[in-house]
Amino acid sequence: MIFVDSSVWVDFFRDRSTPQVEWLDRNLGLEPLHVGDLVLAEVLQGFREDRGFEEARRLLGRLGQTDIAGQDIAIEVARNYRKLRGLGVTVRGIVDLLIATRCVSSGFGLLHADGDFDAFERHLGLRSVDCTGST
């Protein structure tokens, strides 16, 4: 299963051509894709027009839905944060830490266009989607 980060959805809805958006276009309806509650909020808050908001809400609502946090994930997030800080890595945003931890915990691959996830790949076992076709 593939979790799609807001960094990809924003480019998708803005019709930007990126390797991640092209991968998403090719695999929508073919791969089991998931969107998280926090990603849903991040993406939908960016729409200025009701029509775009509703179209995005309907599309994203057809995907697998994942609640990102909860007590177990919150504790694991704190552990991961402490581990990264101990390695000298400064985590810029709690949402990315939550997403990365949920993906590792649930065995999701992550489709993203955000360099902030690099440390999670190197140190925490996060699997990113290879936009040439495999995870």
pLDDT in tens, 16-71: 999 999 999 999 989 999 999 999 999 999 999 999 999 999 999 999 999 999 99
Mean pLDDT in residue range 94-98:
94
Structure tokens at 52: 């775009």
pLDDT at 91: 87
Indicate the pTM of the whole model: 0.92
Q: How many Å separate Cα 106 from the centre of its chain?
A: 13
Per-residue pLDDT, 109: 97
Q: CB within 8 A of 3, min separation 6: which ones?
A: 33, 34, 35, 36, 66, 99, 102, 103, 106, 108, 109, 110, 111
Give the span between the Cα atoms of 84 and 13, in whole angstroms. 32
2-128 is a CATH 3.40.50.1010 domain = yes
In 3D space, the residue among 133, 1, 88, 35 whose CA is nearest the CA of residue 12 turns out to be 35
Measured at the CA of 114, the angle between CA 127 and CA 13, to 5 degrees, comes to 110
Query: What would you report as the CA-atom Rg of the chain, rounded to the nearest whole angstrom?
Result: 15
What pLDDT sits at residue 133?
52
Give tens-digit pLDDT for 97-133.
999 999 999 999 999 999 999 999 999 999 999 987 5
In the chain, where the domains are located = 2-128
**Tokens, residue 101:** 């931890």
Bridge pairing between strands 64-66 and 33-36: parallel
Q: Identify the pLDDT of residue 135.
A: 47
pLDDT in tens, 78-93: 999 999 999 999 888 8
CB 38 within 8 A of CB 95: yes
